[in-house]
Homo-oligomer: A and B are copies of this chain.
Amino acid sequence: MKKTIFYHAGCPVCVSAEQEIVNLIGTESVEIVHLGESRDRSVEAERAGVQGVPALLTPTGNVLQMNYGASLKEVIG
């Protein structure tokens, strides 16, 4: 099964959401990607339909946008 990917950018909203998601889904089932640090991942995020962070890309390819932190444009410039 493909992993769930949690995209964030280190903002307080993101960190709080990250903890909740890891608690709910389990550390081993979710990959955490910091788009501010791993800027090469932003193309893949954009293609998947991520519009802002924090966002959860599920194994089925759907994007769940979470509590609004920042737009993808604000993060990747």
Contact = CB atoms under 8 A, between A and B. Distances in A.
Given A24-B24, A24-B25, A16 B66 contact: no
Interface residues of A, number: 19
The number of times this chain is found in the oligomer is 2
A23 B66 contact: no
What is the interface of chain A mostly: helix, strand, loop, or mixed? mixed
A24 B66 contact: no
Contacts of A17: 64
A58 to B, nearest CB: 5
A38 B42 CA distance: 40
Interface of A: 4, 16-17, 20-21, 23-25, 29, 58-60, 62-68
